[in-house]
Chain A
Amino acid sequence: MPMIDLLHAELKRTWIQFIRYPTEVISGIVIIMAVFYGLFASAQYMAGPGFAFGDRLDAVVLGYAMWTLIISVNNDIAINLQIEAETGTLEQVFLSPYGAPRVFLARAFASLALRLVILVVVLLLLMGLSGSRLAFPPLLLLPLASLLLAGYGLAFLMGAAALVFKRVQQVLGIFQFLLLFLLAAPLEEATGLMQYLRFLLPMLPSTGLLRDLMARSLGLDWFTYGLALLNGIVYFALGLLVFRWAEATAKQRGSLSGY
């Protein structure tokens, strides 16, 4: 199973690079803990009305966790492409017979796994410290999966932009505002045309479902979930397709390793 080997190798590499310098790890975890402790202590002040998934502690924490996760997922591929172009490992990655899309997909899984582990560890620690309990319906994992699919689709689009246009930090910064809209705009409450158009925008149907589950205590509407999943798959496929095109363009221009 070569793909499993690749995934294993990427997990190992991601983990080693993360853990090699313990001071970095500890300071990073302390910062995340501080932010979440703030949420636990004074939830309503820290989390503005913007991306609230409800005003219960569970929902506030979930909203914030989702927000940080999606931002890092979205920037993941583009930033790593740029770092590797600068440090000079990118071309070695493109020498893989797997082809770049598969390698970057395995990397995306690996970094997602690492982030989820850190998040879970931090949340467990804080629950132990504060004595509060967080409760999430397990059904939550379904819209979370479709959300991440669309999120990685966008990540591959940003990665494609990084391959073709090179310097993309500014774009990534501006992109966060768009993300805020995609995560927070409660378009599932919209009436009229927007009620339908929201299924065309990335991630929006999934975040709507998350709000249904967390804030409105509604069940999962399977038809809507089907559409949200389709939305995730379509954006993911689009991201991969554009990434392939960007790879071919960069090879044409001979600019793969430039930055």
Chain B
Amino acid sequence: MQLAHRPTDGWAENSSSGSVVLDTRNLSKVYGRGKQRFEAVQQVSLTLRQGEVLAFLGPNGAGKTTTIKMIAGLVRPTQGQITVAGEDPHRQPRALRHIGAVLEGNRNLYWRLTPEENLEYFGVLRQVPRKVAHRRGLELLARFGLEEKRQTPVQKLSRGMQQKVAIAVALIHNPKLLLLDEPTLGLDVEASEMVKALVRQIAQEGRAVLLTTHQLDVAEELSDRVAIIRRGRIIAEQSTEALLREFSSSTTYHLEVEGDLSPQQIHTVTQLGATVQGRQITYAGTPEHLYGLLGALSPVPLVSVQRDRADLTQVFLKLVNDHSDSSHAHD
């Protein structure tokens, strides 16, 4: 695997497309000793490239936050290696210049300071020259639609705005890797849509985004890849599309028609193997035979034809349950 070894000059975006930003190998964290010994994270290996969004999915206490904090240099791994843009955040504090993070359960901001002041302060804390931090701060506020609120103390902003400011602060030093721990938790629908749109934009700029969530729809909408973690171990990791496809029953279609079918049509359709419930028709057959079915429905107008597609909730539950079955079998 090729790592980005070029020297970094701070805030210029300088990586070629698709280079590896984050690489973790066999990351493990053990807390306590003896009977109190608890393996929070076991053998987690992840690779994340520029512009990629990886969703880290798992139930509460599965080890998502511990993994994120190990990557950010806040929790020391018991074993394993982390490189962010070629540098180890635990050995080289410089590596922290590549990392931006919004952590869950934290305010992440000084509440008495305005968004503008927070951005400038955290910029300098991340070694951005003061004037650059100020300018970049204003740009980010404009981009995030917070210009009007830039002089309002953060504690007077809505929860959604605070989260946007926290994300802006995490971007002030132009990091290559953005870590988002439960970015939409506790937000209302509108705010959470806004945050999702921002995350997409941020990835499009070429940053790698690692987000944890237990809201499956968030992962499904945002991520290119999903890693499912359970009891500290990754039990599945692949592209979100492939994962969904694998778990989709490929031969089930849901059709909806406008208007009622005649008794003759219902008979034909049933003969073809479909079931009719009012205006809803479910058909489990090959794609070729679907056209026969569509012919039989003519001329009743169609509203929709949909192939049954698993959503991440089903995949997740299936995987997590399968694993608990197999681990029980081993017990």
On A, residues with C-beta under 8 Å from B are 2, 5-6, 8-9, 12-13, 16-17, 20-21, 87-89, 91-99, 103, 248, 251-254, 256-257
Q: Is the CB of B113 within 8 A of A16?
A: yes
B105 within 8 A of A: yes
Q: Is the CB of B107 within 8 A of A87?
A: yes
Q: Is the CB of B124 within 8 A of A9?
A: yes
Min distance, Cβ A151 to any Cβ of chain B, angstroms = 25
Min distance, Cβ A130 to any Cβ of chain B, angstroms = 34
Q: With a CB–CB cut-off of 8 A, which chain B residues contact A87?
A: 107, 111
Q: Is the CB of B112 within 8 A of A20?
A: yes
- Number of residue pairs across A and B with beta carbons under 8 Å? 101
10 smallest A-B Cβ distances: which pairs?
A88-B106, A9-B124, A88-B107, A254-B75, A251-B76, A97-B96, A96-B125, A17-B112, A20-B112, A5-B130
Given A9-B130, A96-B126, A254-B69, answer yes or no on A17-B113 (Cβ-Cβ < 8 Å). Answer: yes
Given A2-B127, A91-B74, answer yes or no on A17-B110 (Cβ-Cβ < 8 Å). Answer: yes
In addition to A12-B117, A96-B127, 4 A-B residue pairs with Cβ atoms within 8 Å of each other are A13-B113, A16-B113, A17-B112, A95-B99
Q: How far is the CA of A5 from the CA of B131 in the complex (A)?
A: 10
Given A9-B125, A9-B130, A254-B29, answer yes or no on A95-B74 (Cβ-Cβ < 8 Å). Answer: yes
B66 within 8 A of A: yes
B93 within 8 A of A: yes
Min distance, Cβ A92 to any Cβ of chain B, angstroms = 6
Q: How far is the CA of A229 from the CA of B56 in the complex (A)?
A: 53
Min distance, Cβ B100 to any Cβ of chain A, angstroms = 8
Q: With a CB–CB cut-off of 8 A, which chain A residues contact B253?
A: none
Q: With a CB–CB cut-off of 8 A, which chain B residues contact A93?
A: 125
Q: How far is the CA of A248 from the CA of B169 in the complex (A)?
A: 26
Q: How far is the CA of A251 from the CA of B126 in the complex (A)?
A: 20
Q: How far is the CA of A88 from the CA of B101 in the complex (A)?
A: 13
Given A95-B72, A251-B76, A254-B31, answer yes or no on A6-B124 (Cβ-Cβ < 8 Å). Answer: yes
On B, residues with C-beta under 8 Å from A are 29, 31, 40, 66, 69, 72-76, 93-97, 99, 101, 103, 105-113, 117, 120-122, 124-127, 129-130, 153, 169
Min distance, Cβ A30 to any Cβ of chain B, angstroms = 21
Q: Is the CB of A95 within 8 A of B96?
A: yes
Chain A's closest residue to B179 (CB) is A95
Q: Is the CB of A13 within 8 A of B107?
A: no
Q: With a CB–CB cut-off of 8 A, which chain A residues contact B117?
A: 12-13, 16
User: What are some 6 contacts across the A-B interface (CB < 8 A)?
Assistant: A9-B125, A12-B120, A17-B110, A95-B99, A251-B74, A257-B103
Given A13-B121, A96-B96, answer yes or no on A8-B130 (Cβ-Cβ < 8 Å). Answer: yes
Q: Is the CB of A97 within 8 A of B97?
A: yes
Q: With a CB–CB cut-off of 8 A, which chain B residues contact A252?
A: 76
Chain A's closest residue to B97 (CB) is A97
Chain A's closest residue to B100 (CB) is A95
Q: Is the CB of B66 within 8 A of A254?
A: yes
Q: Is the CB of A92 within 8 A of B106?
A: yes
Min distance, Cβ A17 to any Cβ of chain B, angstroms = 5
Q: How far is the CA of A6 from the CA of B75 in the complex (A)?
A: 25
Chain A's closest residue to B122 (CB) is A92
Q: With a CB–CB cut-off of 8 A, which chain A residues contact B107?
A: 87-89
Chain B's closest residue to A256 (CB) is B74
Q: With a CB–CB cut-off of 8 A, which chain B residues contact A253?
A: 31
Given A87-B111, A89-B110, A253-B31, answer yes or no on A95-B124 (Cβ-Cβ < 8 Å). Answer: no
Q: How far is the CA of A89 from the CA of B113 in the complex (A)?
A: 12
Q: With a CB–CB cut-off of 8 A, which chain A residues contact B120?
A: 9, 12
Q: Is the CB of B112 within 8 A of A16?
A: yes
Q: With a CB–CB cut-off of 8 A, which chain A residues contact B105?
A: 88
Q: With a CB–CB cut-off of 8 A, which chain B residues contact A9?
A: 120-121, 124-125, 130
Q: How far is the CA of A94 from the CA of B111 in the complex (A)?
A: 18
Q: How far is the CA of A91 from the CA of B101 in the complex (A)?
A: 9
Min distance, Cβ A207 to any Cβ of chain B, angstroms = 35
Min distance, Cβ A103 to any Cβ of chain B, angstroms = 7
Q: Is the CB of A98 within 8 A of B93?
A: yes
Q: How far is the CA of A257 from the CA of B109 in the complex (A)?
A: 14
Min distance, Cβ B120 to any Cβ of chain A, angstroms = 7
Q: With a CB–CB cut-off of 8 A, which chain B residues contact A251?
A: 73-76
Q: With a CB–CB cut-off of 8 A, which chain A residues contact B99?
A: 95
Q: Is the CB of A257 within 8 A of B93?
A: no
Q: How far is the CA of A218 from the CA of B126 in the complex (A)?
A: 48
Q: With a CB–CB cut-off of 8 A, which chain A residues contact B73?
A: 94-95, 251
Chain B's closest residue to A87 (CB) is B107
Min distance, Cβ A224 to any Cβ of chain B, angstroms = 39
Q: With a CB–CB cut-off of 8 A, which chain B residues contact A5?
A: 124, 129-130
Min distance, Cβ A242 to any Cβ of chain B, angstroms = 18
Chain A's closest residue to B103 (CB) is A91
